[in-house]
Every structure is written in C-alpha cells, then in structure tokens.
Amino acid sequence: MGLLVALAASTGCAPILPPRALTEVDQVRETPAVVEAKAMSPAVVAEAEKLRADALVAFEADDLAGAQILAEEALAAYERAVAVARTARAEERRVAAVAEAEDKNKRLAEVEAELQQVGAAVRAADKRLQVLRELQPITPSGPADPSREEARAAVVATLRLEARLLCTAAELLASERASTPGFARPDELTRAKTSLDALEKTLASGPSAAPIDQARRARADCLAGLSAVRRTKGTTSAAPGSADRLLAAFSQAGEGAPRRDDRGIVLTFRSLFDRDALNDAGSAAVAAVGKVAKDHASFPVMVVIHHRGDQARWTKRGEALVAALRDALGEDRVADPILAGAVAPVVDPDGRYASRNERVEVVFVSPRAL
C-alpha cells in the first residue's frame, strides 16, 4: 500500500487512488494462507506475484482499467495458490491416513493369521487326542442276544464304511504327495490298510457274530493313518486355516449344506440326476462347487454315493458326477466314485422321509488337521 501512495505522490498533482483490487492484492499477499501457499505451491504464487507487478506497472502508466483487471487476475491467482496448497495438504493427510490404514490392516491380518494358526493347532491337538483315545485297548463286547447282534451288524457295516472312507482320504493325500521331496509314507497308514483288509476278510468269511471290536479297531487305525499323513513332511502345502476358509466360502455360496467331519469339508446333495445323467440342478451344483473350489487346489476330492438298490444305475450316476467335477476341477484331483450303499442312513430307513438317505457327498479332503 505504501508503494501505491508513493507512486501517486510522485505525479506532483492530486494523488490518484489505486484501483480497489490493487489495494486488496497487497492485503491478501500478506495473509497467513498465502504465506503458507508460498511453500506449498510456489509456482502458482509466483504467477500471482507477476500479475501484481504488471498491475503496478499499468497503474504507473495511468492505465487504471488495465491495473484493475491485472490486480483482479492477481487476486484470483492468489486464491488459486491457496486452493492448491490446501489440496496438497489434504493429499498429504490422505496419504498418511492410507499408510496408517494399511499398517493397521497389516497388523490385523497378522493377528488373524496367528489366530488361525492357533485355532488349527488346537484342532490338531484335539484330533490327536481323539486318535490316541481310540487307540486305547478296546474292551471286548462279548456275546449278545439275536436282536442285539442284529444291531451290532448294522453298526459294523457303518464302521466298515467309515474306516474305508478315512483310509481312502489318507491314500488320496499320500498319493498326491508321493513325489514331494521329503515325503515318506507313514507306518500308520500301512497298518490301517492291513487292519481294514483283515476286517474285509473276516466279513467275507460270514462270521457267526458281528466283528464289532475289529470294526472299531479298523476305523481307529484308518483315522490314525489319515492323521499321520497330515503330519508327515510334504503334506502341508495348504496354509493354516485353509479348511476354515473353504468351509466359509461354501457356506457363503449356499451350496451343499457344508459341514466338517474327520475327512475334511463335506457337501451333501440330493436330486442331482435324471435317469443316469446330471439334471439342470446337478449341473448348476457342479458349476457352483467348481467356482469355489478352484481357489483351493490343495484339497483332493472324494465322491460318495449313498443309495438303496439298483447299483448299476447309481454307478453310472456317480461316474457322470465325477466326470463333471473333473471337467471343473481337473482330472487328477477327483477320485473315482465310492458306492456306499445304505449302511449310513441319516433318517429312519423305514420312516416317511427315508428317501433323504439317498444322497451324494462331495468331500474335500483336508491336507491339514482340521
């Protein structure tokens, strides 16, 4: 402002007042916002300073209109400099906030991973304890009356199936890892196969009493074999918590009423077939399963057919389902179908809902202890 007054006095006549915009320029350029903008947006401030200087030159030349216009442009340039500086400060805060959020997310991910590892360790310990308990000497069952013996025979059939499925799951994991450096077939799996073969031989001989103790031992041995394969070096390609994530993914997809058992993650389906082929619902189920399972390649797949009668038809149906799953998941990942018969009913076989016992299980065998 002093410079403007001096310019006016130097004319030697009545002072000519500077345009109001030029006065405002001198006031604005001293504000804290513009002073800060000099550091944050120096190029824009320099442009405003040049316009101010041009306005002063115009004022000296008695070009009041030109001085007014140039001063207004300078004001706009200072405002722009302040806005650019505010934008730069906001961007700095945003970058800092993003970095802080990323750091927090990283710490959260580390905590979640640790929780998953701890949870997996707890489940592994629980499973190990279960196996050890089942390996305790089995108290002989002793003789039974005819009705009880019939019930025992049904239990033996179920235990035999469970042992077969557990041993099959163990063999799938073992064969998948056979070429992995450091993998050695565990002795427990060999003993399990021997135990299961012995049970089959006993049943084939037509025993007078149901071999329930031998069936219980075979199941315990097969579970021990599966646990041993999971603990053996070379079978841990799946990350800790992978079974949890697969179960959650299937639950979110809403397919197959997913659940856990000793083998891994089990999906249960009904009404997948028309005659010997997949129907539309079956094809849709396979597509949904494939979409989820493609991101969990470390889980080999078993298909178990629970059926009553007409084994030839159910064999063809199982083959059709396996073929579709192999197309979706890969030829080597899906095992041949297992026909389980009707020895593992989920409802009363003689009740009104007996048809629900006919079902298909698609089992994703967990390479780690659940």
User: For 104-162, how does the pLDDT look when each residue is reduced to its tens digit (9 = 90+)?
Assistant: 888 777 777 666 666 656 665 656 556 555 555 555 555 556 677 788 888 999 999 99
Sign, CA dihedral 20-26-31-35, equals positive
Does residue 17 or residue 345 have the better pLDDT? 345
Q: How many CB atoms lie within 10 A of CB 212?
A: 19
* pLDDT computed for residue 176 by the predictor: 81
Across the range 219-237, mean pLDDT stands at 81
pLDDT above 80: residue 341: yes
Share of the chain above pLDDT 90, in %: 38
**Separation of alpha carbons 129 and 287, rounded Å:** 38
The domain defined by 237-370 folds into 60s Ribosomal Protein L30; Chain: A; (3.30.1330)
Q: DSSP secondary structure string, 133-164? A: HHTSPPPP-----HHHHHHHHHHHHHHHHHHH
3-state secondary structure of 138: coil
Across the range 195-214, mean pLDDT stands at 90
Question: Where in the chain is CATH 3.30.1330.60?
Answer: 237-370
How would residue 15 be classed by pLDDT, with cut points 50, 70 and 90? low
Across-strand partners of 360?
A: 269, 305
Does residue 127 or residue 6 have the better pLDDT? 127
What pLDDT, in 10s, does the model give residues 32-82?
Answer: 888 888 888 788 888 888 888 888 888 888 888 888 888 888 888 888 888
